[in-house]
Structure 1
Amino acid sequence: MRRILLLISFFAIVFTVQNVNAQNNRKLKTQPVKYGDNLEAPFTAKELGMLEEVYQDKLEKYVLSRPQKIKDLKHLLRNRLLITKLPHYNSKSKVTLLSTVGLFNNYNKELKRDQSFDINTFNPLKYNLEFFKVGSAIYRIDNTQYYIVIKAQNLKK
């Protein structure tokens, strides 16, 4: 009898905790994405080159035939992604080094990590950066004073 009461008490506690967690999760509201006004223009040659390098022969299927994907990538490249030199930024803080981030080589198995950094040819889409997470992200490009800043896509008013 004592075991049965103990078992019932255990399950009651577990279900109560799960119910509280479920209610808390419902309170989290997703914020709508604030798109920029510059998304109507087609991809630039540079943007298209970045996409072609990453998606190869799957570009049409996974990007160009999907209007929402096009809009999200244009918004990322034009409004949210910033590669900037920050010579006085405290790099000892918790900033992820680009060398610790994997390649996004799902569609192009031949994709290679850049051996040296050139701001004119650098393609951030090659890397598995957290482009669509909640909040902003920052990465340091190894052995440089350059940082990749990814602004949050859901900015509160």
Structure 2
Amino acid sequence: MLFMGGLAIGQTNSSPKKVPVPLAVFDDNVSAPLTLKERNYIIEAYGDYAEQYVFSKPQMLKSIKQLLRNRILIEKKSNFEKRNEATKLSEVPLFNNYVPELSRDELFDPRNFNPLKYQLEFYSLETKIYNVDGSDYVILIKSQHQ
């Protein structure tokens, strides 16, 4: 404690306690090699930086495989009751850090949607939901901690 001009100045321990975040769990299928579609998604989002930031980084590659294979679901809105609370995909910025000319899909195709193109909340502690504008679909991103 420091005394200055009759005032006592000290440090208090009133900061909130930090709760440890559980470790991410990976499914067995992430050990399988990338599919051509997954490789193309990474290249589309990372461009010339794909090798430097993804393909040469085993943990990053594993995380992206887990995302694409196990944590991102595209479902019909009628199958999901919380769709009204969801963020619209059109409100999510593009992830164009590495490919400035990256553009939004003109038409949504659930079989070929590349989630890596968007700044979706991939690492939230809870499931995130996005409404796909002008379609009957929602995108669900399951937390890596579930």
1:67-117: CA deviation from partner (whole Å, max 9, x where unpaired): 00011011111111111112253533x210001100000010110011221
Does residue 20 in structure 1 map to residue 14 in structure 2?
yes
Structure showing greater radius of gyration is 1
Structure 2 stretches lacking a partner, 5+ long: none
Name the structure 2 match of 1:40: 31
Identity %: 43
| Shift, 1:46, TM fit | 0.8
| Structure 2 CA distance for aligned equivalents of residues 135 and 41 of structure 1 | 26
SS of equivalent to 2:139: strand
TM-score by length of 2: 0.89
**Which contiguous aligned blocks of 4+ residues in structure 1 show a shift greater than 6 angstroms?**
none
**Structure 2 residue aligned with 1:139, among 100, 113, 130?**
130
**Structure 2 residue aligned with 1:87, among 68, 78, 81?**
78
Structure with greater strand share of residues: 2
**Structure 2 residue aligned with 1:52, among 37, 40, 43?**
43
Alpha-carbon RMSD across the aligned residues, in angstroms, is 1.7
Does residue 129 in structure 1 map to residue 120 in structure 2?
yes
| Shift, 1:121, TM fit | 2.2
**Structure 1 residue aligned with 2:63, among 65, 72, 75?**
72
TM-score by length of 1: 0.83
**Structure 1 residue aligned with 2:101, among 103, 107, 110?**
110
| Structure 2 CA distance for aligned equivalents of residues 75 and 42 of structure 1 | 12
Name the structure 2 match of 1:120: 111
Name the structure 2 match of 1:148: 139
Structure 1 stretches lacking a partner, 5+ long: none
Q: How many residues align?
A: 142
